Amino acid sequence: MQTERPFVMSVAGYDPGGGAGLLADIKTFEQLKVQGLGVCTAMTVQTESQCLSLEWQPLETILSTIDVLMKNYHVETVKIGVVKDTEFLNEIIKTIKINNSEAKIVWDPVLKSTSEFSFFDLNTISDLKNVLNQIDLITPNYNEYKILKENYLFENNENLCSVLIKGGHREDKIGTDILMQNGKEIFIKPNDDTSDFYPKHGSGCVLSSAIASHLAKAENLENACRKGKSYIEKFLTSNPTLLGFHS
């Protein structure tokens, strides 16, 4: 087994266009010099501008694949992407923790696509209170954070896990992310002129997998988020289309 690069596992959906999900995560892992592993939660038919269909993989298949990979490779960090509901997420996390209780977990809570295709079953969202304390970081965009907060998952600045609120959907301070950690708010401002940024399909996937990569390389959470932001900014400025380049 190679030992030069830490192992990072993505548990996410398959986007045949390669802009989001597993393929985007693996591209990011490779650029950041970590060894990527992948477990598919859903098969989709989509392009960079629309999602046409989704077929969930059997939970038993997902869990057994995670189990096999983690028994054979020392996984430092797991990035979780699109999942069906809270029970689905909870079973994935339980399997991860059984295999390596020290593995760090980053969840990008994909509730809806930009084209309004629904993924996560919002009827189960209140049950997340019993799951979030097992996660190291979640990375909702501004709209997703508002939905989570409306369901009383974050009250009086007492978070069950660290939260990075992505600033791309904000009307004020656009591009400024907020890391909420241990009761503190850390503002992570854009490094470049935001006027040069172009919207990108899968940008949330890329950011969360970049952060997971840096956590696997022993960066602390704040530094991992800052380095992840530097990576996503290069991705967002790579070209004017919805499919970004990794470099």
Domains along the sequence of the chain with CATH: 7-236 (3.40.1190.20)
Residues 213-246: tens digit of each pLDDT:
999 999 999 999 999 999 999 999 998 999 999 9
Amino acid at position 243, single letter: L
Contact 41, 13 (CB under 8 A): yes
- pLDDT at residue 189 is higher than 80: yes
- Which of 59-63, 116-120, 182-186, 210-214 shows the lowest per-residue confidence on average (mean pLDDT)? 116-120
Q: Look up residue 65 and give its two tokens.
A: 């694949």
Alpha-carbon gap, residue 125 to 110, rounded angstroms: 12
Provide the pLDDT for residue 94.
98
Residues 86-110: tens digit of each pLDDT:
999 999 999 999 999 999 999 999 8
Provide the pLDDT for residue 195.
62
Provide the pLDDT for residue 183.
87
Q: For the chain, give me the number of helices (H) and strands (E)?
A: 6, 9
Residues 161-179: tens digit of each pLDDT:
999 999 865 566 678 999 9
Please tell me the chain's helix, strand, coil percentages from 3-state DSSP, rounded to the nearest 5. 40, 25, 40
> What's the whole-number average pLDDT of the chain?
91
Amino acid at position 191, single letter: N
Helix, strand, or coil (residue 239): coil
Helix, strand, or coil (residue 153): coil
Q: What is the pTM of this model?
A: 0.94
CB count in 10 Å sphere of residue 113: 18
Look at residues 112, 92, 109, 113 and name the one whose alpha carbon lies nearest to residue 41. Answer: 92
